Amino acid sequence: MVEKVKLGIIGYGAEGGMYANFFKTKDERVKSDLVELVAICDNDPAKKDKVAEDFPGMPFFDNYLDLLESGLVNAIVTTVPHYEHVGMGIDALERGIHLLGEKPAGVYTKEVLRLIETAEQNPETTFAIFFNQRTNPLYRRVKELMEAGAIGELQRATWFITTWWRPQGYYNQSNWRATWGGEGGGVLVNQAPHQLDLLQWICGKPEKVFAKMTYGAGRDIVVENEVNALLDFGNGATGSFITCTNDLTGTDRLEIFGTKGKIIVEDSKKMTLTQLKKPEAELSENMAMEDVMKLFMGQLDADEMYTVTTEEFTQAFGDQHIEVINNFASHIVKGTDLLAPGAEGINGVRLANAMHLSDWLGQEVAYNHDSDQYLELLNERIKEEGKFDTKA
């Protein structure tokens, strides 16, 4: 335990800048008695002047190892390219510095396991992952309902999340974007990791995955930007996950169907809960055909069969991210349970890897697939690009 978290932010781009701004504006939602920003690091020389302007007197580092060795920080947030998450995380944990890692935890499971093993070998340190959507009261409510058995046993879970429209100019900003060697993939590793995490957090991990993808749909890129995946949760429960970055109007709809009802989430703001008064199997077995006909003709009172409740949720900008930071600090200082332990970051990475591998092989694969085979095929794609070194 420490008296206060002395936080360093590595990466002063859009995400790191947002986190830093919470401290710059002295946002009252930040628990300043538990955490303070004490240093910023970025390898872009131009960021030094920007930090000096935004935070006069704030220590600035252009090398993250110098930050870790400075003695100024006891915790860091890593807002850097995906392939750097693991290395920086390991270097911090081995020095006894607490880690709040950005998503995804890494690009492939073998490297994420290295990070988890390092955290386990340094139990005095905290390893958390920045899954801010786990703080969303809507998804917390859905998880609560599922754990309480409000809709019975899972039968089907479908998430249609296509609200990630990105024009060609977005991909042209940097040569590492939308590449296998620079980013590790497309929509599955960049835009959708939160949904991949929430899906398994709420519904459980699937056993098998079958996916079909389009690479560069309407865009001049080599990675996946349209994904259609089927999930097998075992015991007859199935699911699907559909996402893309080329749908200008986009849809966000999660539907979870169970033996006693269903949950529908629309636009990550509205939840509709339908609960059968009797399990569907019992209704199927015992309902008289006369009542069935009345139901089809709209003559049967639906209130006798099920209830429907709707809840709407709103949050102020920054609430989710600040809650993650506060929880991270509270865990370090007071021992509060983590909202998103770092070890759980591998689950969404494994699911994304399984989807890639399924499409590459043209067959259904296990969720707990062969990680060596995945890395071998990923390296083949990196070699074809010819821009980056292959991975370990």
Question: How confident is the model over 324-351, as a mean pLDDT?
Answer: 98
- Decide if pLDDT at 326 tops 80: yes
**How many CB atoms lie under 10 A from the CB of residue 36?**
14
pLDDT in tens, 122-145: 999 999 999 999 999 999 999 999
Nearest Cα to 228, choosing from 238, 209, 241, 218? 241
pLDDT category at 304 given cuts 50, 70, 90 is confident
pLDDT of 172 above 80: yes
Residue 160 has a pLDDT of 98
Task: Answer yes or no: is pLDDT of 307 > 80.
Answer: yes
Which pLDDT value is given to residue 392? 86
Q: Which residues contact 206 (CB under 8 A, 6 or more apart)?
A: 200, 231, 232, 233, 234, 239, 351, 367
Model confidence at 294: pLDDT above 90: no
DSSP E strand boundaries for 87-204: 98-101, 127-129, 154-161
pLDDT band per the 50, 70, 90 thresholds, residue 321: very high
321-324: Cβ within 8 A, 24+ apart: 321/18, 321/19, 321/22, 321/130, 321/132, 322/22, 322/27, 322/29, 322/30, 323/132, 323/135, 324/100, 324/128, 324/130, 324/131, 324/132, 324/135
C-beta separation of 185 from 348 below 8 A: no
Q: Tokens representing 84?
A: 């750097």
- The tens digit of pLDDT for each residue in 258-288 reads 999 999 999 999 999 999 999 999 989 998 9
pTM: 0.95
Average pLDDT over residues 313-326: 96
Please check the confidence at residue 295 and state whether its pLDDT lies above 90. no
Point out the least confidently predicted range of 83-87, 299-303, 345-349, 352-356: 299-303
Residue 89 scores a pLDDT above 80 = yes
The mean of the pLDDT values for the chain is 96
